[in-house]
Chains A and B, each alone.
Chain A
Amino acid sequence: MSKSGPLLKIEGVRLKFGLREVLKGVDLSVEAGEVVVLIGASGSGKTSLLRCINLLNMPNAGRITIGGEAIYDASPAARDGNAVPARTVNRIRSQTGMVFQQFNLFPHMTALENVMEGPVTVKKANVETTRKEALDLLAQMGLQDHGGKYPRQLSGGQQQRVAIARACAMHPQVMLFDEPTSALDPELVGEVMKAMVDLARSGMTMVIVTHELGFAFEIADRVIFLDHGTIAEDGPPKDVLLRPTHPRLKSFVGRFHETADLLRPFLEGG
């Protein structure tokens, strides 16, 4: 299987909830190490698209490959339609890490146990090696003193950083973030964003759904604007966020422009 070409490839993905089609044939390629931010109004399909990448939402049509391997294939060329076996799905799924809006830590496990759970249960990894690695990951997230605490004893920002460590512990090829800062108190947003920027700088491939346009500007290599289940604009953050062409994107980034106008001289000067 070829490892060249994009790390993540989405072709013609459609998703229906009942009669409502929320994704109307989305094509998207993400290169290794690239950070892609999905923006769009609520109901535009950005979270649905993210959840299709690890099949938490099962698409109705299309093809998704990660590292050259099909995780979902309903293209006419596929012999068995979408019948990628469940075992393969679980294996490929474990190559994507996901961070949720509501953290979704396991409340009956400590922070350390949360981080160890994936490798130990899914990959049957050695417990001692995993523990060392998990402690390292927690330390990278600035949580070295919190490994023994239960989620309810941690702040929202700390919980979300544990959740990032939990996803990283599986050594995923792609990290998916579903509005990771939306449920946080404003003063806790910064610490989670910093952890994500550090992760991006370490070369992690990331797909992020967020409403924080300033953050998108800072972290993204590419910004994608989804509108009614299709990709309406796709490009570098400077173009998409500062010089939008699509009329709905213009109104969407309007509020952001108030701050962006102030920043523009600095950005274009440097």
Chain B
Amino acid sequence: MFDISVIQQNWPLFWNGLLVTLFYSVISIAAGLVIGLFIGLIQLTGSRALSLVGRVYVEIFRNIPLLVILLWIYYAFPIFAGLAVTKFWAGFAGLSLYAGAFYAEILRAGVQSIDKGQSDASTALGMTYGQRMRRVILPQAFRRMIPPLAGQSIIQIKNTTLMSMITVPDLLYQASYVSSFTYRPMEVYTMVGVMFLALLVPLTFLSRKLETISERVK
């Protein structure tokens, strides 16, 4: 009934797909963190204009579904801009911009959760805004941000599957390709699920671990 040979014969395609999924996960999480740090921090400077820019960014990318963002960048944006956008750039940009909005919110909430007294005490010592952030506020905020950052990153890895809709050859794209010529969707999609479980269960476990550690140092 369950014919494992379908998987075995097409293993190179699955393997390639998994590598592509991992590749986009890593680069979009990295770029998303940079965007999130930037967008999060400009909302904390106290400047109204910068804060508004950050707010608008977050609301746009948090409230448009990722699939729509990807399709728009790949199919609509080139028509607006008169530019060719490759699959790579569409997938990378869409995922990173989307993740950046969520990371920015995590950062903002983390910093704002730090007691006002910490900022008072460091200001009273004569610290500048930068010194307060670097030495006092961010080190405490980062500890609180570890669990939500880990959680968001796991969601991000799962979200890479949406890139198959713009023909980026990730794990899901390769699986539907295999399914299209073997006519064995049961084996193929079961395998995709198993591979994600094998990847993400250990990561979830790790993030739980980090959570208990960060509880302890609080």
Contacts and interface: CB of A to CB of B under 8 A. Distances in A.
A100 B135 contact: no
Interface string B112-126: 000101101111111
A93 B128 contact: no
A108 B125 contact: no
Given A107-B140, A117-B135, A94 B117 contact: no
Nearest to A90: B126
Interface string A112-123: 000001100110
B127 to A, nearest CB: 6
A56 B124 CA distance: 7
B123 A56 contact: yes
Interface residues of B, number: 20
Interface in B137-176: 139-140, 143
Contacts of A108: 139-140, 143, 217
A96 B128 contact: no
Contacts, number: 60
B117 A104 contact: yes
A121 to B, nearest CB: 6
Contacts of A98: 120-121, 124
Interface of B is mostly: helix
Given A117-B135, A121-B135, A122-B131, A106 B126 contact: no
Interface string A154-172: 0000000001001100100
Contacts of A122: 125-127, 131
Interface residues of A, number: 25
> Which of B120, B124, B128, B131 has the most C-beta atoms of chain A within 10 angstroms of its own C-beta?
B124
Contacts of B217: 108
Contact of A93 (B123, B139, B140): B123
Interface in A116-165: 117-118, 121-122, 163
A121 B131 contact: yes
B30 interface: no
A97 B127 contact: no
B136 interface: yes
A121 B126 CA distance: 9
Nearest to B126: A94
Contacts of B123: 56, 93
Contacts of B218: 107
A54 interface: yes
A102 interface: yes
Nearest to A107: B140
A54 B124 contact: yes
